[in-house]
Structure 1
Amino acid sequence: YSNYFSGRLWSGNDWWQETNDVILFTDTETDLLRAEAQVMLNQGLAAANTLNNSTAGTGTTTIGFTLYSETNNIVADATLSGGYNFTGTETKAQQQFALMREYAVEVAGLGGAGTNWAFMRRHDLLQEGTMTMFPVPGTQLEILGIDIYTFGGVENAGTAGTASGANSWTALAAKAGLAKARPAGDNTFTPNNAKIDASSINTLSAKGAKSN
């Protein structure tokens, strides 16, 4: 979704034009939060109705002004989602996946950062090694005389502050019947220690991943 996000919110390198507003919160996110609460309360039919009236169904995101990218034909339509129909017979996993898609496609970048991460954290969907909270800044720890620590990293998976990945979004996709889950601990497409070197690039290429 990153290419779409960049195109949609690109504003000629000048967001502070008179035609642009600063987005704090959207009605789209309000709809998704309502549907999410209904899913968590096992109110499948109510969640379906809310989703059908949200961007998932209608495909309309209202922010009160027309984005620069749409006005200047950088993107044909500033709303990418929509066209889905929910009946209330979906499984909880299917409705959760629908919500995650909307957070990733429609809400990302509109009214704050980290909305998709926060959604996945609330539902224990973060991949193995993803941090679940922010550590105290190192400068403050030094002032207080407390040892430096951090969160995140596959080597810390399952410990306080770091997701285990046991119920990651890939596992949710499998539960929803949309994809096969990648087992926790399988980092086939991750270069060793995130360092790009000749051997890791060759490994990635052999696995079918693209290297630039």
Structure 2
Amino acid sequence: MSKENQEQYDEKKLCRITGTGMLIITLLTAIMEAFGKRIPDWFWIVYAVLVVLIAVGIMILSNTICKIKENTGSRKRNYNKAVICVIAASIVFSGLIMGIVFSKGKIEIAVSANRLEIQGYWWSDYEIKTEDIEEIEFTEDFQAGTRTNGFSGATLLQGKFENEEQGKYTLYAYKDCKAYIILHTKKGDVVINEKTEKETRELYYEIEKTLK
């Protein structure tokens, strides 16, 4: 950085503020990865809000306490360019972190003689007693409809949904898989699948076997 630019704002303060913001985001991400499903379901919402607030905070602080004095002419333009670069870097970094979190995800389904346990990704788990399953259906012709409550990332659909056929129902599914298992239970329909059509069929046969 040129001497002229250094005179226009406090470079050390700017670096400290940006570094602190990125450190907080990194720590939040590390917490999410370390604790996984044990973190409360609302934590991902808090995470997203904090990332946005940190980015906005960096923008505000960059133009206030980091600014040494008002500049005119070319000096002001250079200062503004530096601030824009810092803001852009912060937003890109925040976006990358959020992209990593929301693009990942895995739904785990465990079948036993007495129950079917569904573990969601950043969403509440779900348990179905086998005695409550009235009918099971495999289909490749299914429309999820509208999500009324839940979490949907880049690869997953989770939560409460509503469509014309099922009405209000519960969904835990991978977006890229077009095969689904519809569980008609005493408490309403639950729709699930695996990552692939093959794995979904295998899960269907496994559940069907426990019901016999």
Settle same-fold status: TM greater than 0.5. Answer: no
Which protein has the larger Cα radius of gyration, Structure 1 or Structure 2?
2
Which is richer in helix?
Answer: 2
TM-score, with structure 1 as normaliser: 0.27
TM-score, with structure 2 as normaliser: 0.27
